[in-house]
Amino acid sequence: MYNNSADLSEIVNLFDFEQMAATRMSRMAYEYVASGAADEISLRWNRTAFDNIKLNTSVLNDVSRLDTSFTLLGRPMPHPIMIAPTAFHRLMHPEAELATAKGAGMANTTYVVSSFTTTPLNQIAQAATSPLWFQLYVRDDRSFTKDLVQQAEALGYQALCITVDTPTPGIRDRQVRAGFALPEEVIAHYSLGEIGAPKNPITWRDIEWLQSFTKIPILLKGIMSTDDAAKAVQVGVSGIIVSNHGARNLDTVPATIEVLPRIASIVNKQIPILLDGGVRRGTDILKAIALGAQAVLLGKPICYGLACGGAEGVAKVIEILKDELHLAMLLTGQPRLVNLNRSLIWH
């Protein structure tokens, strides 16, 4: 499934990580991570939409001291780069989610652990030196779901990300052609035997049920419409994540960065907005923050970094983006992340 850690010294950017990972992961594992839904049109849009946004620079500003810090859910954050929930890390590296957690600590970032973790939550918590959140698929078995949430709470996971965009897994042709199946030694401890996302449509009533007992903040992951964003504010969740599930569910939905400005206008800073999908450059982060996000989450690049170098690979993915973000702030004349707004976007 994986080789020993590679020499990361020649890695320059996140695209290099993907190229290296393609040579080090099994074909099945690589296709699982890299693929999108159906014809992968949205997968391409997630990336090209960022490329098509132009930056508006400002000169002769004092950028001698850069500040990427901000506050999220009442907690200070040193930078706006987080690790998105992705499944089955043991497919990518023998240390699996433990390496991801260690890499997150090295890069001083928050790691959102997937429901389909191949490492128990308590072991990840023991290895972590930076904040952990937990991503949840709500199951029909409410006792199981409640116990899992309360276990995460007791272990110190600081927020709960509810995936709301997956009543059923999408059409994933590349994954099928690669013959995706979990090897015997890869155990997803909380999957109830499911390999893909559970076929379990949830409703706003399920969110209200979770709110009735959860002690940590709830964020809804998979918001792509203004109506859903408005409803999320109305029901009192703590935040939303603009996400099209890494373009892995429904093809031809818009890129997340295209949807973001409309949702930000509706939310109007009442609750935090995070974004994932297609982020590969420091300039992408700048654009996302300018258009209304508080932070971005990385999925596929983290998997590639993990496959190439374990904890060090994960940390290097984040560090590359942090460096690129700093340079982008310098070159656009923006010393403070929290001051970014749409004036940074060239029209």
Cα(333)–Cα(336) distance, rounded to whole angstroms? 9
Provide the 3-class DSSP secondary structure of residue 336.
Answer: strand
Please tell me which residue in 79, 89, 93, 245 is annotated as part of the active site: 245
Exposure string over 243-272, b if 16+ CB within 10 A, otherwise e: bbbbbbbbbebbbbbbbbebbbebbeeebb
Provide the 3-class DSSP secondary structure of residue 252.
Answer: coil
Count of positions (residues) in the chain: 347
Q: What is the DSSP string of 133-149?
A: EEEEPPPS-HHHHHHHH
Q: What are phi and psi of 160, to 5 degrees?
A: -120, 120
If phi > 0 it is left, if psi is from -120 to 50 it is alpha, else beta; for residue 26 that is beta
**Angle 193-199-205 (CA atoms, 0-180°, nearest 5)?**
120
Element (H, E) at 256: helix 256-267
**Is 245 an annotated catalytic residue?**
yes
- What dihedral angle (degrees, nearest 10) is formed by the CA atoms of 66, 67, 68, 70? -170
Cα(45)–Cα(31) distance, rounded to whole angstroms? 19
Active site residues: 245
